[in-house]
Structure 1
Amino acid sequence: MIDETYAAIFAAAPTASAMAHGRVNLIGEHIDYNGGMVLPTTIGNATHVAVGPSDDSSHAIYSAQYGEAVRRGIDTAFDGHWSDYIAGALAKGAENGLIKNPMRVAVDSSVPGGAGLSSSASVTVAVLKALAEHAGQHVADVDIARWSQQVEHEYIGVPCGIMDQMAVAIASEKQALALETDTLAHTLITLPDDHHFAVLHSGIIRKLDEGRYAERRQECEDAAAALGADSLCQLNEAQVAAIECLPEVQRKRARHAHSEHRRVLAAIGALCAGDMAAFGAQMDASHISMRDDFEITTPEIDAIVEAARQHGAMGARMTGGGFGGCIVACVPVDILEKWKAAMAQDFPATRYIA
């Protein structure tokens, strides 16, 4: 379909195309930049990209979501335009020898923006994979993920961790990616057939580039420095004991990162053992930590998470960068439709994503 869209817009056939899913993080929030273990999985929603050479001196970028095509250079200002992520991926592709001349790019995505489902990582990974195919080069998925993260850092100004990019570059549906973010060692774990990780949009849109994400990361770095540690998730016993001596904000951030890493390890053990009740308990504890220690939830999302449990979920938590976006709930398949109906009745502004 994306090839046909490209041809209709640019009156030429693309030379390459690629796709990357969105992702939902099952557990392990804000610890991919703190040296922790995370457990994301992909969702069915995806970004499709087609590319080909341009006959002009600038890049041409078309978005089916915005219904427009723009021309731009990759050395121009990145100021919040919808094409910034695509232009950043083009710049990173040029830097790594995937393109030498201006390109045409067509993008079509069903990953909702501002939902905590990695719409940005999905588009940058898809563009980079399409550029690699265009160049006839094999680029390892880990390198694609690293380049995609660099787009966020260097062009968008979001100091994100590596989880989102690794998840959408490597994992597939019905698999969770157990990722050690300090080493990038990873294992794919098959998800159970009798439980579904339901993703529900709260109706609250948030943007990672508005400053609060960077603020939380800086607070974590300050806490790690105060403890004399390289990362908050890899503290020794003396450093763990010293957490309670930190100033309040640093204490809370360190407590969340340290405990969240251990919750992920426990959740992975529960998942491998098929103990979804234990897995759900770790999800519940994760949300409480995000609410009380990391302070990134909202009262509306807290209420949605609580209702998700009351209607039969084994566990539920906010997912994503915070301050809006989605929740994820572990729901037995045999009550999924009943659960969805109950949640829709209680919270009409929510939207079932996956």
Structure 2
Amino acid sequence: MTEVLLERAEALQEEFRRVFGEAADGVWAAPGRVNLIGEHTDYNDGFVLPFALPQATLVAARRRADGLVRAHSLFTGETVEFALEELRPGGVDGWAAYVAAMCWSLRTAGQAGLLAEDVDVVGVDLLIESDVPHGAGLSSSAALECSVGLAVADLTGAAVRPLEMARLAQRAENDYVGMPCGLMDQMISMLGQAGHAVLFDTRSLQPTPVPLAPEGDAEVLVIDTRAPHRLVDGEYAARRRQCEEAARVLGVESLRVLSDTEADVAEILTPVEDEVLRRRARHVITENRRVIETVDLLRADDLAGVGDRMRASHLSLRDDYEVTVEEIDVAFEAVSAQGVHGARITGGGFGGCVIALAPVGLHERVRSAVREAFAAAGFTEPEVFRAPPAAGARRVV
């Protein structure tokens, strides 16, 4: 994959010269991600087990001396320009909001307590290209944030550690863009390791690499349903509020506290009278437990056991958390019938992707089955691709 990134970086440098008339100072990359298990747990101080994808966002960049940022997207063909001194949350919208958000987050990092001091961000020209599927729940936004953040920090001369950059990117998305996401997406984009998933404790901020199918007898397949990734009517934010309310009713700071016990979940949730809150909390508590079980099963090379936890996760997200849509459920059922170890929705839901942990050699069978199921249902043809765990964000050239 390094050779592919180098080829893309070289092509992007040539395009940069065409768009901006001068040579780029460098090219930086940050990957999208797949979450093997641990959904909607990160904003509940819980556990997640994602890995970085080979698909990445690349940013070619050059310093400017006038305090302006010019960003051009090869995806939209647009160029957006803004002054660093005028950056305020909500001041830039669309795809460029993520660019502005990272510049703003770095400039105010000291005020936010995320770095020892604010970063004196320099003006930059940025050229952006990406092969992370947009709107598919594979964290194209975090890939954009982290690649821009690395480029801007490097050209400014700021030393920002990977986890610090992830937290700056999360703040950018929370406080500038207005999306109340947890830290998982940005963390794995910065800290991904080839051949590994990363167990991340979002309370202690401790990352632990976990080998993923090291014997080469299984692979992760991604089924991009191409159902629009709609966080309809603020439903993502609503789930977060419901979890916070359930924790308040239960008298704990977060639902993670209850995941750490061995008590029966039904007994734990007895004080919660509201049925919706009870179901939301049940998902989070049981999902945290499934993540830890999955890590143990991976280390024991028990892929059937991992698959069982993936299926249970999907059913919990469908029934208790209610974040699946028809395309997702059709893909899940079609894939599950093809001899895979397990399958589940990945990402925030309301569209996006299903993943399958499959024995090597099932790729074509899975693709055919899902395409047939989607054709019968009248859905847009899905895309199915292999997803080997890749490295995290870095400077390419």
Normalising by the residue count of structure 1, what TM-score does the alignment of the two structures yield? 0.94
Distance 1:242 1:234 in 2: 11
Q: Partner amino acid for 1:139?
A: V
Aligned to 1:197: 220
**Is the CA contact 1:34–1:232 (under 8 Å) kept in the aligned structure 2?**
yes
More deviation, 27-36/98-107 = 98-107
Aligned to 2:104: 91
Give the match's secondary structure for 2:49. Answer: strand
> 1:9 Cα shift?
1.0
**Is the CA contact 1:157–1:209 (under 8 Å) kept in the aligned structure 2?**
no
More deviation, 203-212/25-34 = 203-212
**Is the CA contact 2:124–2:152 (under 8 Å) kept in the aligned structure 1?**
no
- The counterpart of 2:144, out of the listed 108, 117, 123, is 123
**Is the CA contact 2:279–2:320 (under 8 Å) kept in the aligned structure 1?**
yes
Higher relative contact order (CA 8 A, sep 6+): 2
Runs of 5+ consecutive residues of structure 2 not aligned to the other structure: 1-8, 110-117, 376-380, 387-397
Q: Partner amino acid for 1:133?
A: D
Within the alignment, does 1:66 sit opposite 2:76 as a pair? yes
> 1:334 Cα shift?
2.2
- The counterpart of 1:344, out of the listed 371, 374, 378, is 371
Give the match's secondary structure for 2:57. Answer: strand
Give the match's secondary structure for 1:334. Answer: coil
- Percent of aligned pairs with the same residue? 37
Q: How do 1:204-283 residues align onto structure 2 when only pairs under 5 Å count?
A: 204-208=227-231, 210-235=233-258, 236=261, 237=263, 241-246=267-272, 247-283=274-310
More deviation, 203-212/164-173 = 203-212
Give the match's secondary structure for 1:172. Answer: coil
> 1:242 Cα shift?
3.9
**Is the CA contact 1:158–1:209 (under 8 Å) kept in the aligned structure 2?**
no
Distance 2:350 2:295 in 1: 26
**Is the CA contact 2:63–2:155 (under 8 Å) kept in the aligned structure 1?**
no
Give the match's secondary structure for 2:227. Answer: coil
Change (3 A) 1:242 1:149: same
Q: Deviations over 1:247-284 (max 9, x none)?
A: 11110111000000001111111111111000000000
> 1:210 Cα shift?
5.0
Aligned to 1:167: 188
Change (3 A) 1:5 1:93: farther
> 1:146 Cα shift?
0.3
Change (3 A) 1:207 1:73: farther
**Is the CA contact 2:330–2:374 (under 8 Å) kept in the aligned structure 1?**
no
Give the match's secondary structure for 2:62. Answer: strand
**Is the CA contact 1:276–1:314 (under 8 Å) kept in the aligned structure 2?**
yes
More deviation, 159-168/70-79 = 70-79
